[in-house]
Amino acid sequence: MKIENKHSDETSLVPRLGLFTTLAIVIGAVIGSGIFKKPALMASELGSSELLIAVWVIAGIITLFGALTNAEIAGIITATGGQYIFFEKMYGKFFSFLYGWAIFAVIQTGSIASITYVFGDYFQALVPLFRFSKEIEMSFILHIPFIGNILPLENIGVKLVTMLTICILTFINYFGVMFGGGIAGFFTSMKIIAMLILVGFGFMYAGGTVHNFTSTINGFHYSGGAFAGFIAALSGAFWAYDGWNNITYIAGEVKNPQKTIPIALFVGTVIIIAIYLLINFAYLYVMPIAEMSKSTLVAADVARKAIGNFGAGFVSIAVLISTFGTSNGTIMVSARVYFAMARKGHFFKRIGKIHPKYLTPANALILQAFWTCILVLSGTFDTLTDMLIFVSWIFYAIGAYGVFVLRKKMPDVERPYKVWGYPYIPIIFIVFASAFVVLTLWNDISAYINGQSQIINSIFGLFLVALGIPFYLYFERKSLKGDKES
């Protein structure tokens, strides 16, 4: 028995993407802004080079376990919509809707917003952008009870560039999956080349030393304690690894998805781990952990130190290439989830329409761009990433448990790939993901109570997800009414 996605009419999305493009989308959706920005913040939370590397290794291994687990499901359910369709098979309509809504409300739109925000941030390093005075920025504050303050006018120049870029990339993907896929392949290749050049420059730096690999910050003490610092740093690494399952959303447009997607998930994740470790070692070779912890744009600072002002310009361009490509890939695949929801009667009907000429979910792309721009105005990079990572890992844990559910519910279905190390690999991933979610929530609430944070990012994320419940009731009632009338 085999489950396939059939394309029997002209209103269906068409499978056009091969292995190279699929692999490029996996890598391109993950490697974006995090590796250029998060290591400095992680260094300030850990105070140790060895702990910094350990966090990247741990996060990489757990991500690989998640990818291996997800690959089994992706090999048997190949319909467009990916995890949304997986959840419907595992747990039913309500839970799959809640996941799809979370994708729309915070996970993928928040990811697009935060990735592209870094594009705007590094664009500012090349071209100075307008910014209001502090008084004007603070003159318009939105306060959400139990969540915190939102400053829409803060850093407005970066936000405007971010929103413009999102609209341009949406426009590109409006014209076809092959066009968007070609852009993804090109920019993924370019970003890997740029990162390897950065690594080369780092290790050629005459003032660098391997002693930095074991350096610590003298007298270091994280404000929330050592354990809280570790969890916060882990969240940063998970953000940099996030996006590994994006390719499943576009499964209906991949050739031979039963084999192509599992291969792309495994190979792509291994490549990403290797690149991230190389870059972090290059950072540390040039810059000791104490200096890294004070950096705001760590990749640019490392390159400036290694090869002068040209290096800072090179890194800024590399980050622009990387984030532009990642944002493009995320915009392309994410809209397919809302499209699949609308096709099943659980989202606005117009979102399920396919452009008659370009065969793309055009309306879904436009709605996604609109809401993403709202999120850009709502918060800064770290607020958005912390919020979406927390919500993402709730669903990652539940999705991994689905392997056990589907083996029981669908025992006779052909499985081109079975997760290695079953049941241990999925169990390890589920336990780790669950613990990470609980500890993140505890850390966020503690930081808010102690006055260390103005916003509880995890609660904000849950609030946005909960807003989907009345929408589910509305769409379900509308669907039932349509069934009775027919």
In this predicted structure, the answer to whether residue 363 has a pLDDT above a threshold of 90 is yes
Q: Are 236 and 40 in contact (CB under 8 A)?
A: no
Calpha distance 271→188 (Å, rounded): 12
Q: Which of 21-25, 256-260, 377-381 has the lowest mean pLDDT?
A: 377-381
> Roughly how many angstroms between the first and final C-alpha of the chain, as a whole number?
32
Instruction: Choose the most confident range, by mean pLDDT, from 84-98, 113-127, 142-156, 246-260.
Output: 84-98
Question: Per DSSP, what are the bridge partners of residue 144?
Answer: 148
Q: What percent of the chain has pLDDT over 90?
A: 30
Question: Where does the pLDDT of residue 364 fall: very low under 50, low under 70, confident under 90, or very high at 90 and above?
Answer: very high
Instruction: Choose the most confident range, by mean pLDDT, from 38-42, 167-171, 245-249, 435-439.
Output: 167-171
Distances (CA, A) of 184 to 17, 249, 369: 11, 15, 18
Residue 9: predicted pLDDT: 38
Question: Where does the pLDDT of residue 277 fall: very low under 50, low under 70, confident under 90, or very high at 90 and above?
Answer: very high
Residue 440: predicted pLDDT: 84
Question: Where does the pLDDT of residue 7 fall: very low under 50, low under 70, confident under 90, or very high at 90 and above?
Answer: very low
- Per-domain residue ranges of the chain: 19-480
> What single DSSP character describes residue 107?
I
Q: What percent of the chain has pLDDT over 70?
A: 90
**How many residues belong to the chain?**
486
Report which residue type is found at 471. Answer: F
In this predicted structure, the answer to whether residue 3 has a pLDDT above a threshold of 80 is no
Among 288, 214, 209, 208, smallest CA distance to 39 is for: 288
Calpha distance 24→332 (Å, rounded): 13
Question: Where does the pLDDT of residue 4 fall: very low under 50, low under 70, confident under 90, or very high at 90 and above?
Answer: very low
> What is the helix (H) or strand (E) element at residue 259, kind and residue range?
helix 257-286
Segment 294-318, tens digit of pLDDT: 887 788 888 888 888 888 788 888 8
Q: Which of 140-144, 257-261, 469-473, 476-480 has the lowest mean pLDDT?
A: 140-144
Calpha distance 343→337 (Å, rounded): 10
CATH H superfamily, domain 19-480: Amino acid/polyamine transporter I (1.20.1740.10)
Calpha distance 159→372 (Å, rounded): 11
Average pLDDT, the chain: 84
- For every residue of 224-241, DSSP letters joined together read T-HHHHHHHHHHHHHHHH
